Structure 1
Amino acid sequence: MSRPIPVRNIWILFLYAADLVQFRDKYERDVEDARDLPDLIGRLLAHVVEDRMRKNLSRGYRSKSAVLQRVRGRIDMLATETAQLMDRGQVACRFEEHVMDTPRNRLVRTALERLAARVDNIETAHRCRKLAADFARFGVSGMRPSRAQLATDQIGRNESADRMMVALARMVFDGSIPTEIEGNALQPGDETTEHLIRRLFERAVGNAWRIQLEPEGWHVAQGRRISWPVSAASSGLHAILPGMQTDIELNHPQTGRRVVIDTKFTRILTSSNYRSEVLRSGYLYQMYSYLRTQEQESDAPSLAAKGILLHPQTGGYVNEMMMVQGHEISFRTIDLTASASNFERQLRLLDAN
């Protein structure tokens, strides 16, 4: 990959990957004005946080114990009797305290602080710094929460604004702030950028298929593990046998159709000693294994399952197919450098037929 990827297309990937496509048109001005990806994330996170503050940040509950003059929550009888607190008109209580120091708010504060230190745009950095200070005044800790802590802070179905806020904050810590890149495009040669786009691309494609195909009766599964049909093996084989996991699998129960999609963040074509352009054989063998090893007479869709190797590409377009032992295998690309409207059209018009 050599051509620069427009920041707007990274934004579209993010929206699909985070399942937040409903916000596509809400932040047009921020997307247009952003100089680079860190500036875009900073602008958007500041915008969302400012909006949340106007409507009150979400709160959580924290367990607390205290000696009080009146009962609050549950009485800790053992502590009360042991210290003879009632003789002094006091009681030991355990209760839940309503606080803003939640894992999601801590994540956002630490993300704002990181952006303030790394974003080149002075105005964006100032907004992030000010908002981080506001979080501190609200009692939100500056310690980044662990994955386990974030997992306990479930975001409700109706908290879409918080989902956007947390998704942007996560993006800050996903190795997605390549500060050395300027302008309104990202250079794919940068390792940090490729890591980010790879993660976004895989999730965005899966969600794009789901949005388009679930209303038509398709079931969309991502990251399903499949097994080798081993009939006999030596004692040490299973310790070294690699597993198999599909990126995306589509099933249509009514018609018995199945499609296995593998997304690869590499160029779909390479070169050999004899040809300047040739499909990558390793990926082809992998897809062939996915399809053929899962064939079972009792599972009719497995006998004619279709495979799609889907690659991002910077410029150009590939859409080829072949039939191999009853299985159609397609080779397709999505142009990451296309115009924003064309790029999104490619995502949404992926065809499972």
Structure 2
Amino acid sequence: MPIPIENIYYLLCYAWNKLEEKERVYVSVDDKTELVDLFAKILINGTKILLKRGIDKSYIDYTDEIVGVKGKLQISQTLKSNLLFKQRTVCTFDSFSSNILNNRILLSTLYSLSRTKGLDRELKKELFKLQRMFSGIDLIQINNSLFSQIKLNRNNRFYGFLMNVCQIIYENTLPSEEEGIFKFTDFTRDERKMNQLFEAFIRNFYRIEQNRYTIVKKETIKWSFNSEDQESFQFIPKMETDITLENGTEKIIIDAKYYRETMTINYDKEKIKSNNLYQLFSYLLNQEDETLKTMNAKGVLLYPTIEKEYDLQYKYKSHMIEIRTINLNSNWKLISERLREIIV
């Protein structure tokens, strides 16, 4: 059974650290809602909020051929084009405009989404209406590098949420066999993408929803090896935890693992996946630095499941090692309670 659409929305908003925006961008979800419809609803509702507030504008540099002189005169280009006798010049000048990167990405996403196969007809109509409200803004060929160029501040931070939505739509939209028509791929079927989402969700959930541990982070752990040849260390793989929770006296290392096929621990002959256990065990041993919290650090392997919860507990010296599962098909309140219980 797939993860409910509403829970996918929760996972994303935690992973993006955009819970406040989630409450503002209300999205009604039912069992019939497809993933592409969910993102269309989010983008439509979020764009309507943006338009009510007024879209962002900024100064943009233009270089153009004009009558007279404006801004900075581009002498060489003007002379090469033989424009002076026409009383025209090539100048670089700035203009206060809404045709900025944020708006171009948003409009281009509305455009591609409105031409996506399988999208609800009423949602398509809404997307077409919204596109007409972005006059003076140009379509753009989106690529991933553009999202890193977006500049946010206190006044336009709501764009951050919309750009997260645009990016996930872009990353999961492909051209179809019909020219000008797109198709949306279900990223929940991609184990690699879902593993990244699951990990980011768990980490940000603990950053936001608990105050027992003041530090919540990825942690780089150095191998407890000695070698006379220091250059040999470059061949050793990097150890980095998914989530480390820490305060003055306690420490927990969580390794979050997402598996698509069973959505639970793989109970074959090996029972728990051996590589997962080896990795967690290595983290615990190599992070020890003689302080009480590192010598008593707890390790947790956390898996999603939609069938049955597992709570397995083992001990190695002073380290507790736990195997936990979380049911992503359950009510969100139960998911939240389960995650809090794991770190008690």
CA contact (8 A) 1:250 1:259 kept: yes
Aligned equivalents of 1:82, 1:264: Cα separation in 2: 62
SS at structure 2 position matched to 1:152: coil
**Cα 1:75/1:31, change in 2 over 3 Å:** same
Would the aligned equivalents of 1:106 and 1:142 in 2 still touch at CA under 8 Å? yes
Higher relative contact order (CA 8 A, sep 6+): 1
1:165 Cα shift?
Answer: 1.2
Worse overlay, 107-116 or 258-267: 107-116
Tell me the equivalent position of 2:288. 295
Per-residue CA shift, 1:186-216, capped at 9, x if unaligned? Answer: xxx9863545433322111111000023x44
Q: Is contact 1:206–1:248 with CA below 8 Å preserved after alignment?
A: yes
Matches of residues 1-353 of structure 1 in structure 2 within 5 Å?
3-32=1-30, 35-66=33-64, 72-74=70-72, 93-116=91-114, 117-135=116-134, 137-147=135-145, 149-175=146-172, 192=189, 194-213=191-210, 215-216=211-212, 218-222=214-218, 224-232=219-227, 238=233, 240-252=235-247, 255-266=248-259, 267-273=263-269, 278-297=271-290, 299-347=291-339, 349-353=340-344
Moved more, 116-125 or 66-75: 66-75
1:131 is paired with a residue of what secondary structure?
helix
Residue pair 2:265, 2:272 contacting (<8 A) in 1 also = yes
Q: CA deviation at 1:156?
A: 1.9
Aligned with 2:60: secondary structure?
A: strand
Question: Which deviates further from its counterpart, 52-61 or 71-80?
Answer: 71-80
**Are the counterparts in 2 of residues 14 and 204 from structure 1 also a CA contact under 8 Å?**
yes
Counterpart Cα distance in 2 of 1:5 and 1:336: 6
CA contact (8 A) 1:12 1:344 kept: no
> Does the C-alpha gap of structure 1 residues 346 and 11 become closer, same or farther in structure 2, counting only changes over 3 Å?
farther
Structure 2 counterpart of 1:340, one-letter code: W
> Any stretches of 5+ residues in structure 2 without a counterpart?
177-185
Amino acid at match of 2:93: F
1:182 aligned partner = none
Per-residue deviation, residues 24-56 of structure 1 (Å, max 9, x unmatched): 444445334862111111011011112212322
- State the secondary structure of the residue aligned to 1:140: coil
Q: Identify if the C-alpha distance between structure 1 residues 72 and 32 changes in structure 2 by more than 3 Å, giving closer, same or farther.
A: farther
Aligned-partner residue type, residue 128 of structure 1: L
Unaligned runs of 5+ residues in structure 1 are 180-188
Preserved contact between residue 102 and residue 153 of structure 1 (Cα < 8 Å) = no
Q: Distance in 2 between matches of 1:156 and 1:33?
A: 37
Q: Following the alignment from structure 1 to structure 2, what is the Cα–Cα distance between the partners of residues 123 and 38? A: 13
Q: Deviations over 1:171-195 (max 9, x none)?
A: 2123389x9xxxxxxxxx9863545
Which SS does the other structure have where 1:5 is aligned? coil
Cα 1:229–1:68 shift into 2, 3 Å: same
8 A contact 1:315–1:338 mirrored in 2: no
- In structure 2, relative to structure 1, the CA distance for the partners of 1:271 and 1:94 (3 Å cut) is same
**1:203–1:112 distance in 2 versus 1, CA, 3 Å:** same
Pairs aligned (count): 330
TM-score with structure 1 length normalisation?
A: 0.79
What is the alpha-carbon distance in structure 2 between the residues aligned to residue 43 and residue 88 of structure 1?
A: 52
Q: Is the 8 A contact 1:268 1:280 kept in 2?
A: no
Amino acid at match of 1:37: L
CA distance in 2, matches of 1:132, 1:101: 14
Using the aligned pairs only, state the percent identity.
Answer: 22
Deviation at 1:7, TM superposition (A): 0.6
Distance in 1 (CA, whole Å) between partners of 2:190 and 2:301 is 22
Quick one: structure 1 residues 157 and 264, their matched pair in 2 at CA, closer, same or farther if it must change by over 3 Å?
farther
SS of 2:29's equivalent in the other structure is helix
> How many Å apart are 1:169 and its aligned residue?
1.0
Q: Secondary structure at the match of 1:139?
A: coil
Letter in 2 for 1:53: L
Give the SS at the match of 1:155: coil
Q: Normalized against structure 2, the TM-score is what?
A: 0.81
Secondary structure at the counterpart of residue 241 of structure 2: strand
